[in-house]
Amino acid sequence: MLSDLDALPVFMTPQEVADLLRVTRRTIENMMADGRLARVSNGTDRVLIPRQAVIDILHIVPPTKATPSRNEEGLPDAE
């Protein structure tokens, strides 16, 4: 992962974003289609993804399963 997100280009192709996030181009296309990843288009087939959209995706923390509370010994609390 890049340590300096400001070093990313202002606009990237879907393939560049896929390579950066280590996912497939199809995953990026799905993210654009369902609105999770912003895109810009000039009216042709060319689609570019703004740097801020990639930064926003990287800052989203997916929901996790609730973990049981633990006591001082690190064992799950009895219910």
Enumerate domains of the chain plus CATH numbers: 5-58 (1.10.10)
Between residues 5 and 2, the one the model is more confident about: 5
pLDDT for res 36: 93
**For residue 72, is pLDDT > 60?**
yes
Q: What is the mean pLDDT of the chain?
A: 82
Give percent of the chain above pLDDT 70.
71
pLDDT for res 27: 96
CB-based burial, 24-58: b 16+ in 10 Å, e otherwise? eeeebeebbeeeebebeeeeeeeebbbbebbeebe
